Amino acid sequence: MNVYRFKSALILLSLLLELGGTATYARASTQESARSDLQRKIRKELVTLPYYGVFDNLAYKVDGNTVTLYGKVVRPTTRSDAERRVERLRGVSRVVNNIEVLPLSSFDDSLRRQTYRAIYRTAGLYRYLLGANPSIHIIVDRGHIELEGVVSNQGDAQLAYMAARGVSGAFSVTNNLRVERRRAY
């Protein structure tokens, strides 16, 4: 009879441990889902800012209930609007705004226009600059050009870099373009 009670106790213990593990997994899954949902909301708020465009770049990091904003923008209002929109989201208790406002410069404005035209005129790259939220962003800071965003393949990233390198008067070009990861179906 003692062997029967011992086996029953072992079975009961293993069931309780399994249920506890399932509950922990469910809690972690729910937290990950909530975090993913918050990230989607933050991204939507940032890309729909009224003056956010091809010459701005915004990024963020979520750490618990704190959101840290990064990037470079041409207008100070884009910086303040980004912070205001993110801080009103449910689940955000604090926003750290590390967005840099680029200095006013007619030289930089000229480089922006030249770089935009150079990339737009390169065969196959025009599609990245179309739409309300282009996937290639051109950041010009004191004569230095940075390409930010996502392209379909490494060849397009290289083409954009070469087009930007051909812009007269630029001190340097940094290619931070990332190749999008395709999902395996």
Structure tokens at 96: 């750290």
pLDDT per residue rounded down to tens, the chain (185 residues):
565 665 666 565 565 556 555 444 445 556 667 677 889 999 999 999 999 999 999 999 999 889 999 999 999 999 999 999 999 999 899 999 999 999 999 999 999 999 999 999 998 898 888 777 889 999 999 999 999 999 999 999 999 999 999 999 999 999 999 998 775 55
Domain 106-179 has CATH 3.30.1340.30: yes
Question: Domain ranges in the chain?
Answer: 1-102, 106-179
Q: Would you say the CATH fold of 106-179 matches that of 1-102?
A: no
Domain 1-102 has CATH 1.20.1440: no
